[in-house]
Structure 1
């Protein structure tokens, strides 16, 4: 493999610091992934690695021909975005945004999801329920932030994600295309039939969906509670998962 042993260079550390910030990732078109499961999922999906820093004990788990540099655990810990380093860290090229096709597809559309962990969990749930494309409004969290990426558990390798104004996308859809809004004032989810195509709108953790998006929906649905819960709402990722399980059954 042509491995080099030792420490990261000053330029490596400088690049990793740049990639911890959203503007650095956007400017350079790169992101950092940590953990063997995450890195292998990205490699299997065809992601392009620029450099992979790894502990000696994990080298044999990587495919041949990777741009590997073996470094010490202390070096990885210094550069890691987490409290405990995972033994491997890769710098990958961000995939280009591809064009979406909505006919015959079920799409998740996220409005101003702010919590990176929620965003990553939504990607993971979409992958589980066979949803292969996600639209994010421009004010959603950055999917390539460390906490968001980690929360996907590698599912990001299977999902296409685009950031663009949701109203613009919805207004370009054919008349009658199914648009389902997740809203606490909506009708019971039980009344919604399975859908082979459509868009599920999921709103901000605090304020929900904007009125403009709600007006574009074919139907607004709410998840009925059982008994007398102590909470007044569900986490956005949990609620979206329940709806996806219902419509994709």
Structure 2
């Protein structure tokens, strides 16, 4: 069962300071919890309703504690989650494989956008994601929810732009997205290199200008009056171009 103190603790993990202090995060919903099945995340606590176990018997492999739907709903930050919730230890990737395709997210502050991007690179098989320190926290519950389970397979490295550029080996290509650059043919069938996506309001950091790079643009229709694309949508288009050529 879920005690009042346990509900209070799990609910507190909606706040960043409590996640940092406890070094854990929360996974909410039956499908989200199911994504932990084949991951190497350490599950601290997991609670499921009887109805969730009937719908998804595989959840039994995670050795959940049975809890009533009302208690799960009280512990969750989601409005309609009565099925499952888990408290999981945090971890972040530390190593960058410079011989692979790397997506660098520079200052992506919206949780929904970051989660959607993580889900997108999982779909297209982009090798690695790096987040600048200005990005929204990866373990924000809205990010985790928006990944639709991909958080368990695509864990970012977190670095400042300065440290990333300092560590980057000579010869690794960098592609910056902007409004006035080359066509997407520059990244066709890209097997290695760094694709940098900036925030919709500020673009990429000026620090990228200090290193050799190629600027690329997703061309708009001549009749378009839109001033920009959503960053998650733009990332999806570029990932498709990289993988399909």
Q: Give the TM-score normalised by the residue count of structure 2.
A: 0.92
1:113 counterpart residue number: 108
Q: Please, which runs of 5 or more residues in structure 2 have no aligned partner?
A: none
The answer for the alignment partner of 1:140 in structure 2 is: 135
Q: Secondary structure at the match of 1:176?
A: coil
Contact 1:114–1:205 (CA under 8 A) maintained in structure 2: no
What residue number does 2:88 align with? 92
User: Residue 132 and residue 29 in structure 1: after superposition, are their counterparts in 2 closer, same or farther (change >3 A)?
Assistant: farther
Q: What's 1:83 paired with?
A: 79
Question: Aligned residue for 1:3?
Answer: none
In structure 1, stretches of 5+ residues that fail to align are 1-5
What CA distance in whole angstroms lies between the structure 1 residues aligned with 2:212 and 2:106? 13
The answer to whether the 8 A contact 2:49-2:82 is kept is no
Q: What is the root-mean-square deviation in Å for CA atoms of aligned residues?
A: 1.7
1:217 deviation in Å?
Answer: 4.9
CA distance in 1, matches of 2:42, 2:187: 41
Q: How many angstroms does 1:64 deviate by?
A: 4.0
SS of the residue 1:44 aligns to:
coil
Judged with a 3 Å threshold, the aligned counterparts in structure 2 of structure 1 residues 225 and 95 are, in CA distance, closer, same or farther, namely: same
Q: How does 1:29-108 map to 2 (within 5 A)?
A: 29-60=23-54, 61-64=57-60, 66-103=62-99, 105-108=100-103
Task: Return closer, same or farther for 1:63/1:88 CA change in 2, 3 Å cut-off.
Answer: closer
The 8 Å contact of residues 111 and 136 in structure 2, kept in 1 or not, is answered as yes
TM-aligned CA deviation for residue 157 of structure 1: 1.3
Displacement of 1:101: 1.6
Equivalence for 2:201: 206
1:12-23 to 2 correspondence within 5 Å?
A: 12-23=6-17
Distance 1:9 1:181 in 2: 50
Q: Within 2, Cα distance between the matches of 1:96 and 1:189?
A: 31
| CA positional deviation for 1:80 | 1.4
Q: CA–CA distance in 2 between the matches of 1:217 and 1:181?
A: 10
**C-alpha separation between the residues in 2 aligned to 1:171 and 1:110?**
17
1:229 aligns with 2:221: no
The SS at the match of 1:160 is coil
Give 1:171 shift: 2.6
Equivalent residue for 2:170?
175
Query: For the structure 1 residues 237 and 84, does the alpha-carbon distance in structure 2 shift closer, same or farther, using more than 3 Å as the test?
Result: same
Task: Between 52-61 and 123-132, report the one with greater CA deviation.
Answer: 52-61
Counterpart of 2:185 (choices 190, 194, 197) is 190
Misfit runs of 4+, over 6 Å? none
Number of residue pairs matched by the alignment? 242
CA distance in 2, matches of 1:184, 1:39: 39
In the TM superposition, residue 234 of structure 1 has moved relative to its aligned partner by 0.4
Once residues 159 and 13 of structure 2 are traced to their aligned partners in structure 1, the CA distance between those partners, rounded to angstroms, is 22
